[in-house]
Amino acid sequence: NKFQAYEGLTVPLFPNLITQASPYAWVGMSWFDTVEYQMRHMKRLFGELQRRGAGTFEVTEEANARFLGQMETLL
């Protein structure tokens, strides 16, 4: 069990939760770059919700594990 969040914003088993102060949320040393990155992620997320006519979202554990693996490789 590791402290983690998919693209720094969403966590498996917590539908409709967006957290902006989580692991891998920060991009470099710039708060502005971080917010821009997070807004792009949320725009994709909400656009897909609207396209599908869905009311909830949740990252899968598999997608989260893949993302964590990518981050660990980069470290």
In a domain, 13, yes or no: yes
Arithmetic mean of pLDDT, 54-75: 93
pLDDT score at 20: 83
In a domain, 1, yes or no: no
Task: Indicate whether this model's pTM tops 0.85.
Answer: no
The per-residue pLDDT for range 1-49, each reduced to its tens digit, is 678 889 889 999 999 999 987 877 777 778 888 889 889 999 999 999 9
Domain region containing 42: 7-68
pLDDT score at 33: 86
Q: Say how many domains are in the chain.
A: 1
In a domain, 17, yes or no: yes
Cβ-defined contacts of 54-63 (< 8 Å, 24+):
56/15, 56/16, 57/10, 57/15, 57/16, 58/10, 58/12, 58/13, 58/14, 58/15, 58/16, 59/6, 59/10, 59/11, 59/12, 60/12, 61/12, 61/13, 63/6
